């Protein structure tokens, strides 16, 4: 027993949960000194999506963020979330890339490496855990929490004991959906300790179900040493319990954190202002408690993805059917925890099953998962599912080794490629490029463009009533206008109304909006681009909206029924398009990189 420590998540998982991971380094550094004074068990500030998003959307170098925060918080243990052999991405990487990443993460300032594998395949955690120990880091080995007939209290206790034997320094129970109940939290932690477990246990749970505060209390009663929290402006909902509330709840008990509540209130006030800067990213649903998750078991992030995917395909009316299909697919795929990347595999397959018929369309990622390329599925996959996904020769496609054992080393090749392009400025750039080849290359070339924040977006103007209305919702309202192209580039003035009648407290006001800058309104296809036909004899149509990744045939080439002629990216997954007839490719209507709609004719085969 004894006092409980907290891992503060405001610099990583909190804004990943509520603000789409968009918080900038410039908003972290001013408060770093105060965060460093609290005495947290650890400060999570790197890993997860905070590697991808900065180079993709913020034009920031994640390595530079790490170095700056390390310098600004010399007294705190800095933590990162590391996805085992996926590192900070969505595919397996070879051992040499994993080891290099761990080495440079430690060199630049990470102390604690929270390592997890999406399917709890401990083979995937072995190399990153060894690499952390070799560089003198702290291994916090995680077990992903979910609910299924397989995932019993005994399952978790045994997995935690195995992680201890593998050399972990502490254990994390990672509940990404916020489903852990107070009794389960107590029984798992108590069971681990009574079975001889000696490592500190950290409970990480999102607030989604509303049970997490109660689960945290039972966890410390069972012997948990650490809890994960967020400073309150970025807490609750799909994020985590508020730091200040947990500190207050434990005050005066044997688990008292002994943190200065007044200092936490100063930090809270700072992040309240930061929250306003990113208010345009807030989804009301993300701030709410959703007890229905204990029934459908779909994490908040996965739910928003399902909605977005159905909207993209013009099928939002199928949401209820998809929600019923998700648990069915999850069972058929061996009950994987619904965490990145397996949540995407299950979710997209459920959407495709509803839209096109069960297992009529199968993304490459589903095939890879079933083959074992993500690791060993937690439960049994029945032979009929194997055959539906992989075909009659499915037994020859299953792997029983660690997936990364099949991968060739990449470091030397990636480094040489970067050198030949003249883009190698530091060794860490090789990792940025290796992990995210396309996005990383664009960033390293200096072609990335940062997104706007709320105070840079255009707002209504030119009438006292309008201005007062806006200020009531946006206290830091600024008269800022978004210019997306020079006026001389505009060929046609946008046909946007500029005069409105606005009712405020029962009074009608005439409001005139004077555009300064503005937006082009595009109509029809760009000049010179041939419109794709919807109907043509022998036309092969796209079954869904997506982006053309690869055209695998040429005009004049002969094809047989069932041949794969194109690959599209839809719902963040690759989908092969096969021809239903034999013949000759007469005309191709698309090129790689084109965005297509459902029903667009890709090519003509006669």
% of residues, the chain, pLDDT over 90: 65
Show the beta-strand stretches assigned E in 87-162: 112-115, 138-144
Mean pLDDT of the chain: 87
What superfamily would CATH give domain 5-287?
Answer: Aldolase class I (3.20.20.70)
d(CA 199, CA 501): 65
Contact 3, 256 (CB under 8 A): yes
Name the CATH topology of 539-605.
OB fold (Dihydrolipoamide Acetyltransferase, E2P) (2.40.50)
Average pLDDT of the residues in 155-172: 99
Distance CA 321, CA 72 (A): 50
Question: Distance (Å, rounded) from C-alpha 561 to C-alpha 338?
Answer: 36
Q: Region 402-418: what's the mean pLDDT? A: 97
What residues does 202 pair with on adjacent strands? 172, 226
- Percentage of residues of the chain with pLDDT beyond 70: 86
Least confident of 203-212, 303-312, 343-352, 427-436: 303-312
Listed residue (246, 243, 238) closest to 215, CA to CA = 246
- Residues 87, 97: contact at Cβ < 8 Å? yes
CA nearest neighbour of 9 among 80, 74, 71:
80
The 10s digit of each residue's pLDDT in 89-103 is 988 999 999 999 999
Total count of residues recorded for the chain: 606
Cα–Cα distance, 601 to 605 (Å, whole number): 11
Is residue 460 scored above 50 in pLDDT?
Answer: no
Tell me the per-residue pLDDT of 2-55, one tens digit each, with 9 for 90 and over: 799 999 999 999 999 898 899 999 999 999 999 999 999 999 999 999 999 999
408-413 average pLDDT score: 98
Domain ranges of the chain: 5-287, 298-401, 459-512, 539-605
Average pLDDT over residues 136-164: 98
> Please, what CATH class does the domain formed by 298-401 belong to?
mainly alpha
The residue among 454 and 32 whose pLDDT is bigger is 32
| Sheet strand arrangement including 573-578 | 573-578, 564-570, 546-551, 595-596
CB 390 within 8 A of CB 367: yes
d(CA 492, CA 511): 24
pLDDT single digits (tens) 536-582: 888 898 887 888 888 999 999 999 988 889 988 776 667 788 888 89
DSSP string, 53-92: HIIIII---HHHHHHHHHHH-TTS-EEEEE-GGGTTSSS-
Q: Which two tokens stand for residue 577?
A: 């398009």
**Is 399 or 516 the better-scoring residue by pLDDT?**
399
Instruction: Write down the pLDDT at residue 522.
Output: 40
pLDDT > 80? residue 471: no
Handedness of CA 54, 58, 61, 63 (dihedral sign): negative
Say whether the peptide bond before residue 341 is cis (omega within 30 degrees of 0): yes
Q: Which of 10-14, 378-382, 469-473 has the lowest mean pLDDT?
A: 469-473
CA 155 to each of CA 333, 473, 569: distance values in angstroms, whole numbers, following the listed order: 18, 49, 36
pLDDT value of position 545:
80
């Amino acid at each position: 027993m004894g006092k409980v420590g907290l891992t503060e998540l405001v610099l990583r998982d909190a804004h990943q949960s509520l603000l789409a991971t968009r918080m900038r380094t410039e908003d972290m550094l001013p408060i770093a000194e105060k965060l460093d004074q609290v005495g947290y068990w650890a400060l999570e500030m790197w890993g997860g999506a905070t590697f991808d998003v900065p180079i993709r959307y913020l034009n920031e170098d994640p390595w530079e963020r790490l170095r700056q925060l390390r310098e600004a918080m010399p007294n705190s243990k800095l933590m990162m979330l590391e996805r085992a052999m996926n590192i900070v991405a969505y595919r397996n990487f070879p051992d040499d890339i994993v080891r290099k990443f761990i080495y440079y993460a430690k060199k630049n300032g990470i102390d604690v490496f929270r390592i997890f594998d999406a399917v709890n395949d401990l083979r995937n955690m072995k190399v990153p855990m060894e690499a952390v120990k070799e560089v003198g880091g702290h291994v916090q080995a995680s077990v992903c929490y979910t609910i299924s007939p397989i995932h019993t209290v005994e399952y978790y206790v045994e997995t935690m004991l195995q992680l201890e034997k593998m050399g972990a320094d502490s254990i994390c129970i990672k509940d990404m959906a916020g489903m852990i109940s107070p009794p389960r939290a107590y029984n798992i932690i108590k069971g681990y300790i009574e079975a001889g477990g000696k490592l500190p246990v950290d409970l990480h749970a999102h607030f989604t179900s509303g049970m997490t505060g109660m689960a945290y209390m039972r966890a410390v009663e069972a012997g948990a040493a650490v809890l994960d929290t967020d400073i309150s402006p970025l807490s609750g909902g799909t994020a985590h319990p508020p730091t200040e509330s947990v500190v207050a709840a434990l005050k005066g008990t044997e688990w008292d954190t002994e943190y200065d509540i007044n200092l936490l209130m100063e930090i809270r006030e700072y992040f309240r202002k930061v929250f306003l800067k990113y208010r345009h990213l807030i989804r009301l649903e993300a701030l709410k408690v959703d007890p229905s998750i204990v029934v459908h078991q779909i994490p908040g992030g996965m739910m928003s993805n399902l909605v977005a995917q159905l909207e993209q395909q013009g099928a939002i009316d199928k949401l209820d059917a998809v929600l019923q299909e998700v648990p069915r697919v999850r069972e058929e795929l061996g009950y994987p925890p619904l965490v990145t990347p397996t949540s995407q595999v299950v979710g997209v397959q459920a959407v495709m099953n509803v839209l096109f018929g069960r297992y009529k369309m199968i993304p490459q990622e589903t095939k890879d998962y079933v083959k074992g390329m993500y690791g060993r599925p937690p439960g049994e996959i029945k032979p009929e599912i194997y055959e539906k996904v992989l075909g009659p020769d499915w037994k020859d496609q299953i792997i029983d080794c660690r997936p990364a054992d099949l991968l060739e080393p990449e470091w030397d090749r990636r480094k040489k490629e970067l050198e030949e392009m003249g883009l190698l400025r530091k060794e860490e750039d090789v990792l940025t490029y290796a992990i995210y080849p396309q996005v990383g290359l664009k960033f390293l070339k200096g072609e990335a463009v940062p997104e706007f924040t709320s105070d840079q977006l255009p707002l209504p103007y030119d009438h006292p009533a309008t201005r007062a209305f806006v200020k009531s919702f946006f206290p830091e309202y600024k008269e800022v206008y978004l210019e997306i192209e020079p006026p001389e580039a505009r060929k046609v003035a946008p046909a946007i109304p500029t005069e409105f009648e606005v009712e405020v407290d029962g009074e009608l006001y005439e409001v005139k909006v004077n555009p300064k800058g503005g937006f082009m309104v595009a109509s029809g296809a760009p000049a010179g681009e041939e419109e794709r036909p919807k109907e043509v004899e022998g036309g092969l149509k796209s079954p869904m909206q997506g982006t053309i990744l690869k055209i695998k045939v040429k005009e004049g080439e002969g094809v047989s029924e069932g041949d794969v002629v194109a690959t599209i990216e839809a719902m963040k997954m690759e989908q092969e398009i096969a021809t239903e007839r034999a013949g000759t490719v007469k005309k191709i209507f698309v090129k790689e990189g084109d965005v297509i709609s459902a029903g667009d004719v890709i090519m003509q085969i006669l």
